[in-house]
Structure 1
Amino acid sequence: MLAECLNRVKNGEISQRQAAAQYKIPRKTLYNKLKNKHACKPGHLETEFEKCILSLSDYEFSVDSFDLRMVIKNYLNQQGRNIPVNEDILRQFVENLSKELENVPSKNIWNFDETNLTDNPGQNEY
């Protein structure tokens, strides 16, 4: 959506102000993108969240939808962006992430529950 918006502004179809209102993108963001003041390309955050999830899976931690929401919410809080993470936003993110993971072999996808987790790893509970 951001790329489409930027193309329309670059082609003179709409002004930055109209684009900001129509696409609900902050005008300053559009300005910075048009002036190449942002190093990140559209989709950068999704890639970073994907890396985070894959890193967690390297340590055999499963990530469910609640965990993903917390990762996203924590990131936004650190950025000073108090945006409510609602179900529609998360559903769209998960759909996009699913597309990104389409070519990941199933043997590289792990699913764990908390059966083998303990509050005291030094204690033998058997």
Structure 2
Amino acid sequence: MSEQDTVVLQAYKQSEVHKAGHIAVVLLVGSAQVFYGNGGLRELVVFLDTGSELSSIWDKPADELELPTVGNATLSISTFGSEKSVTKECEIVTLQLCDIEGGRHELRLHCGPYITGTIQQADLNKGDVDFISGGFNL
């Protein structure tokens, strides 16, 4: 693989019906080192939504990390499982991620409410574990 190749990790699983008729969905979640407030590093759990038009962060971690506000936007937000969207004025903040080589990458994120509900860890088969263990670059 050349240095210019981009590796994208996606998880796909057929929907399964669980208790009370809920459908199970596999979401791609990982952790990242982020810079905050005084320049320190903190590990943050991230949800990688490759199909989203905008990037977002929940209000609580944005406040805890003291992320600088750079603007505002009015968004129509639909939470997982809801049938209606809610219009909300959201702050736009910047966040700096630290890559594996120590480089900084600045993201512009929309602050919003917690939208996923309860999350359970998926069972990975040997092929999944082997692939993830091989490492990948963002």
Q: Which has the higher strand share?
A: 2
Q: Which has the higher helix share?
A: 1
Bigger relative CO (Cα 8 Å, ≥ 6 apart): 2
Structure with larger Rg = 1
TM-score (norm 1): 0.24
TM-score (norm 2): 0.23
